[in-house]
Chain A
Amino acid sequence: MNAKRPSLAVNVAGIELRNPVMPASGTFGYGEEYSAFVDLKKLGAIVTKGLSLNPKAGNPMPRIAETTSGMLNAIGLQNVGVDTFVEKKCPYYRVLDTPVFANFFGNTLEEYGEVARRLADVPEVTALELNISCPNVKQGGIVFGTDPKAAAEVVSLVRKHNDKPLIVKLSPNVTDITVIARAVEEAGADAISCINTLTGMAIDIRTRKPKIANRTGGLSGPAIRPVAVRMVHQVVQAVKIPVIGIGGIMTASDALEFLIVGARAVQVGTANFIDPAAMLAIIDGIEAFLVEEGLEDINQVIGSLSL
């Protein structure tokens, strides 16, 4: 006789997810790119590539370089723009029954507001993930992700234009991430996702040139995981809203570390490049862990850190 399968369902910002595993923005395209490898109906959610008001060309090549247990990227937020996204990419989501988190950004405060407004009445978009943290794009002198006042301002503005659940994605490139976390919570964020990539640099010793045309890039992959677990732990302690953990998750046990420190869900990024089916293995692994531990519900693991 089969024992009852444990429940993996979690609730993030009022959204029911069938499990806590979803892709990190920018590593999964708009979802459809991976449909040959991943049954998208098995994911907790789909998180889109970052969207901007106008289509964006992105940075010059080379844009990526592998480093020890990680990779640097400076894609430069190349994307089709919010209008093309709504018109061309959204219809695909109708048949999926998987929540869609639209990640977006602006170059100015006004642009953030306008993108949020254009996503407000799009039925295929379940929630917004507000990117105030991409290290590869200069934002007219204001770096929204590193200044608590600017961060709060952009969150309030987006709130005004859009009623959907709002997740704010934080940068790790700050002195104290909890200051920004509290600022966005106060300004009305429904959830926080963290961390984005750590700014890094790598050099080709023969040409003396940076390995990335943008000079610096965002470091992702297992190299950053301990930093990410620490920061998620700090943010969970600092705020009451749910936190989605991100940073170098390759396996189920990596994901469980984030859940144990209190993340309500996790995002998988670089692992998608290495194994297109990585998220499915992580979901299965989390379920197997619950069975091994004799637990019925993933919520018994979330925040179970023993100090």
Chain B
Amino acid sequence: MKNYQTIILSNLEISPGYWRMRILAPGFAAAAAPGQFVMLRPELALPTMLRRPFGIFRTGCLPPECAGLPPREYMEILYKIVGQGTRIMSDLHAGDRVELLGPLGRGFTINDTSCAKILVGGGIGLVPLFLLAEALIDKGHQVRLLMGGRTRDDVLAVTEFERLGVETYVSTDDGSLGEEGLVTKVLERKLSKYPCAEVYACGPMPMLAAVERICSERNVPLQVSLESHMACGVGACLGCVVKGAGHSDQRPNYLCTCKEGPVFAAGQLDWGRAVNTEGGCPEGGCR
């Protein structure tokens, strides 16, 4: 984990409302594990002030700009414009300065079993799955990605997964790309096909709650990556907690999304009520 004062290499809109930012970050790739995140802030960020959390999408290396210079290591995030902070970020250009803290948090645990590895992404929730797919394929696993979005505009970067050798299945709510319907329907169908499977999921809370129900009914191991508003990203502010398994007012079991997560084994969390009302499901509400 490092606090980088660095620059943007590129910042491009890849789909309406979705942006891809590449940031110079020497030494980052070797430190980053699949599922980890960063806290990012433009150096001149007024009127916003706090860093924002972003999942790590990819890491890589560019050839030197001139002969003799070292290669340029970078990390990438994909982000959706959801408020003032992300809108300001979308106005930034190559060469603009950012402060980047990371990699942070606990990522995915990779189990070397022969079970089918199924990745489920909803919209921008696809982000932390790329490094995971890369790591699984490196270890010789076959990887399937089930990618869901409301419309074709919400389905991102699927071809990049295909180039890795991932089998991809796209579904959209309106049928504008791939199969019409929810990604969870595709998941149910796939799970009935494999005698043994493991699922890794990231997406909006209602999707994660449905994925959890489907997996627990079938005794399929599930890891989920959660999102939350955060102030610090390092476990100090306690602003990003989720209810852990067995949580009650008498015996509180709050877990920090930033430090104990953002990736959790499904069994660590309290699924009885919505785990986190932010950006997702109002308490009890939306299944």
Q: Which residues does A use to contact B, with CB under 8 Å?
A: 26-29, 33-34, 36-37, 55-58, 60-66, 68-71, 73, 75, 78, 213, 221-222, 270, 272-277
Contact = CB atoms under 8 A, between A and B. Distances in A.
Nearest to B253: A57
Contacts of B238: 58, 63, 75, 78
Nearest to A63: B239
A34 B241 CA distance: 18
Contacts of A78: 238, 241, 252, 254
23 contacts: A34-B234, A36-B234, A37-B3, A56-B252, A60-B277, A62-B239, A64-B239, A64-B240, A66-B48, A71-B50, A73-B239, A75-B238, A221-B49, A270-B49, A272-B236, A273-B51, A273-B231, A273-B232, A273-B236, A273-B237, A275-B99, A276-B3, A276-B234
B47 interface: yes
Nearest to B228: A61
Contacts of A29: 235-236
Complex A-B, nearest 4 residue pairs according to Cβ-Cβ distance, in ascending order: A57-B252, A64-B239, A29-B236, A273-B231
B278 interface: yes
B95 to A, nearest CB: 21
A58 B241 CA distance: 10
Interface in B235-284: 235-242, 249, 252, 254, 276-278
A110 B249 CA distance: 22
Contact of A27 (B46, B101, B236): B236
A57 B249 contact: yes
A26 B51 CA distance: 18
B252 A55 contact: yes
Contacts, number: 92
Contacts of A273: 50-51, 231-232, 236-237
A62 B278 contact: yes
B41 interface: yes
Interface of B is mostly: loop
Interface string B62-88: 000000000000000000000001000
Nearest to A79: B238
Contacts of A275: 3, 99
A11 to B, nearest CB: 28
Contacts of A277: 3
Given A57-B249, A71-B231, A273-B232, A63 B49 contact: no
B229 interface: yes
Given A57-B249, A62-B278, A73 B51 contact: no
Nearest to B236: A29
Contacts of A68: 47
Contacts of B14: none
B3 A69 contact: no
Contacts of A55: 252
Nearest to A277: B3
B61 interface: no
Contact of A75 (B47, B239, B242, B278): B239
B254 A58 contact: yes
B1 interface: yes
A28 B232 CA distance: 9
B51 A61 contact: no
Nearest to B237: A273
B229 A65 contact: yes
A285 B111 CA distance: 49
A221 B231 CA distance: 12
A274 B229 contact: no
A57 B254 contact: yes
A221 B49 CA distance: 9
A60 B237 CA distance: 14
B47 A69 contact: yes
A141 B49 CA distance: 36
B83 to A, nearest CB: 9
Nearest to B235: A33
A274 B41 contact: yes
Contacts of B48: 66
Contacts of B240: 64
Nearest to A23: B236
Given A62-B229, A66-B85, A71-B50, A33 B236 contact: yes
Given A55-B252, A66-B48, A273-B232, 8 more contacts: A33-B235, A56-B252, A57-B252, A64-B237, A70-B49, A73-B237, A75-B239, A221-B49
